[in-house]
Amino acid sequence: MIIREAQVADIQQIQIVRNAVKENMLSDPALVPDKDVEDYIIRRGKGWVSEMDGVITGFSIVSVMDNNVWALFMDPNYEAKGVGKKLHDVMIDWYFTQTDKTIWLSTGPGTRAEAFYRKAGWKETGLYGKGEIKFEMTLSDWKNKA
């Protein structure tokens, strides 16, 4: 399994992973069109993919413009193997080389993602959107975790 920067050519497989998840599912896949994924990995920030035998098994995308984690998802067949943590760590390491601003994300309550982010050192700061938990990470928190 390798982790590398996401490319525009990866978007089709990124969408397959995004729509295969069992938690934090999109109510309508059309809510995240390919052009939005491209915008986030090319202009707003950067993305990474985990790949095995030419197949994307997970991805992470961060926005420096919005100071947030836009996406971190694993194909359900490749969960709980430590790859999500690697995608997370590469993404956050890169983010904090670009800015020292606090980063945020949101996820559904009671999900494996919620437990994942708590374990990774994210601090709950309230609610966001339609009842999601909002988490934040400061540069200091990240340095102390690493």
Alpha carbons 113 and 115: distance in angstroms, whole number: 5
Tokens 């998840």 -> residue: 21
The percent of the chain in helix, strand and coil, each rounded to the nearest 5, is 40, 30, 25
- Which segments of 50-103 does DSSP mark as H helices, in order? 83-98
Length of the chain: 146
- Identify which of 9-23, 33-47, 54-68, 78-92 has the greatest average pLDDT: 54-68
> What confidence tens digit (pLDDT) does each residue in 92-128 have?
999 999 999 999 999 989 988 899 999 999 999 999 9
Pairing of strands 103-107, 132-137: antiparallel
Alpha carbons 8 and 120: distance in angstroms, whole number: 28
Contacts of 128 (CB under 8 A, 6+ apart): 106, 134
Verdict on whether the full-model pTM lies above 0.85: yes
CATH number of 2-145: 3.40.630.30
